[in-house]
Amino acid sequence: MKMYIVCAITSLLLVGCNPKTQSEQPKEDTLKVEFSLPKKLKEISGIALSDDQKTIWAIEDQGNKNVVYGLDRQGNLIADVLVENGENNDWEEITKDTKGNIYIGDFGNNDNDRQNLAILKLDLKDTSQKTTQVIQTTKFRYEGQTEFPPKKSNWLYDCEAFIEMNGSFYLFTKNRSKGFDGTFLVFKVPNAEGDFEAKLIGRLKLNGKYSDAAITSAAINSKQDQIVLLSHKNIHLLTGFTSDDFSTAKIEKVPLNHNSQKESVVFLNDRTLLIADEKDKATGGKVYQFSF
């Protein structure tokens, strides 16, 4: 009997310590599907929540209409709001400030050669609107970029992620460099009408390959002390930053155990996110809930 117990314990220890056995255990997705996106939204690039959290505002990127779509919390399309005086050069993100003002980031820059980057403030209030106007245009250029495009080893000037905080916009660039290493830049731009140089306030690095570490969206919590950066496979939680310096920010990688072309993230509350991904054949085209 004693020998049987010893053998059983030894077997359990060997199984528990066997790396191959552990790696073969399947990982469950940590995302909860909220709903599938309407067929009209095939290339979603950003989402934002209304103040009452009843409406999800959504946009699409380059090649699509200059329209902001309103969805209810079940995913039904309830509004198509035409932006009358704003062209969709490459809309890559939508966000709001603490007063509920809505902003579109027209700063998609895949080839790092654009010189008409802008953030558009809308007079968008509710889903009863058929049209909306751009009431402020913040034009900007990146500090440090002198070539359009620069060498492919320095393609750090695409952007799909920004937030508004205390009267300024914060942009987190998407690395498209040859020899991708997870590096991204953080720039600060005044939330105002005009043409500005975006000030470089941080150069940071995320671990992993392109799908792990190429940033596609950003969101900030209500206390404004945590920022989430989204990639196809992970979220990255930033803390310890200041309004003028992100260089010492701490970054925590949180795997989603789910791989798709994730393009949009927003805080539902300080512990829960809504995440949207693009439709790609049999995958994507959904909005998910994730708690951390």
Mean of pLDDT values over 228-254: 98
CA torsion through residues 120, 123, 127, 129, sign: negative
Beta bridge partners of 56: 49, 71
Please check the confidence at residue 270 and state whether its pLDDT lies above 60: yes
pLDDT at 278 over 50: yes
Please check whether residue 172 lies inside any domain of the structure. yes
pLDDT of residue 85: 96
Q: Mean of the pLDDT values across residues 86-96?
A: 97
Question: What domain range is 100 assigned to?
Answer: 31-291
Q: Do 58 and 47 touch, CB atoms closer than 8 A?
A: yes
Residue 110: inside a domain: yes
Summarize pLDDT for 101-150 with one digit per residue, the tens.
999 999 999 999 999 999 999 999 999 999 999 999 999 999 999 999 99
Q: Is 266 part of a structural domain of the chain?
A: yes
Name the band, by pLDDT with cuts 50, 70 and 90, for residue 15: very low
In a domain, 3, yes or no: no
pLDDT of residue 30: 82
What percentage of the chain reaches a pLDDT higher than 70? 90
Q: Considering the domain boundaries, does residue 16 fall inside one? A: no
Q: Is the pTM of this model over 0.75?
A: yes
Residue 72: give its domain's CATH number: 2.120.10.30
Beta partners for 45? none
Q: Is residue 22 in some structural domain? A: no
Q: What is the mean pLDDT of residues 215-232?
A: 98
CB atoms within 10 A of CB 106: 28
As a whole number of angstroms, the distance between CA 160 and CA 107 comes to 7
How do residues 138-196 score in pLDDT, each as one tens digit? 999 999 999 999 999 999 999 999 999 999 999 999 999 999 999 999 999 999 999 99
pLDDT of residue 29: 56
Beta strands at 168-174 and 234-239: parallel, antiparallel or unpaired = unpaired
CB 170 within 8 A of CB 100: no
Q: Is the pLDDT of residue 9 over 80?
A: no
pLDDT at 51 over 60: yes
Measured CA to CA, the distance from residue 241 to residue 166 in angstroms comes to: 14
Residue, of 170 and 9, whose pLDDT is higher: 170
pLDDT exceeds 70 at position 16: no
Three-state SS annotation for the chain: CHHHHHHHHHHHHHHHHCHHHHHCCCCCCCCEEEEECCCCCCCEEEEEECCCCCCEEEEECCCCCCEEEEECCCCCEEEEEEECCCCCCCCCEEEECCCCCEEEEECCCCCCCCCCCEEEEECCCCCCCCEECEEEEEEEEECCCCCCCCCHHHCCCEEEEEEEECCEEEEEEECCCCCCCCEEEEEEEECCCEEEEEEEEEEEECCCCHHHHCCCEEEECCCCCCEEEECCCEEEEEECCECCECCCCEEEEEECCCCCCEEEEEEEECCEEEEEECCECCECCEEEEEEC
On average, the pLDDT of the chain sits at 91
Q: Number of folded domains in the chain?
A: 1
In a domain, 12, yes or no: no
Inside any domain, residue 200: yes
